[in-house]
Amino acid sequence: MAVKIGDAVPDLTLAVMGGSGPEQVSTGDLFKGKKVVAFALPGAFTPTCSAKHLPGFVANSDAIKAKGVDTVMCLSVNDVFVMDAWGKDQNVGDSVAMVADGSGALTNALGLQLDLTERGLGVRSQRYSMIVDDGVVSALNIDEGGAFEVSSAEKILEQL
């Protein structure tokens, strides 16, 4: 069953690239006591994710943060090295935190898997965006089947 508004984000370990290499970070540290806009996508360096989804959040990160958001976060079932390289490729800088859900633990716990095995991509994340207030989901936009229709930065700005 997929996560819904009012659910708490499960306490799991993810990864980010730190100054001296990969660092583990708990979802508790990422979400507790903060207002976070998180969005997830099927994969780094994939066409829609690279041309539309991530760039929309990079371009709108200042406007999102101006509405009281502490962190704008990109999640993907990719390893921390890929997320770091993709962030550099997309000139993300400090605008969006690039967070790796390498084993899909958070994606699975949220019930938002997208099975792209037949296309050679394995099990990934559905495309979604959410607002999380102090660890609790307060807005959720899930695109079906990898489409890009409701999980945009512009939709999140309307919801803030």
Residues 6+ apart with CB under 8 A from 56: 152, 153, 154
Round to whole Å and give the CA distance between 47 and 38. Answer: 20
pLDDT of residue 49: 87
pLDDT of residue 122: 66
Give catalytic status of residue 49 as yes or no: yes
pLDDT of residue 116: 79
Q: Which residues pair with 35 in a beta bridge?
A: 133
Active-site entry in 49, 54, 75, 96: 49
Domains along the sequence of the chain with CATH = 13-159 (3.40.30.10)
Segments of the chain with pLDDT less than 70: 122, 146
pLDDT of residue 119: 79
H/E stretch holding 156: helix 153-159
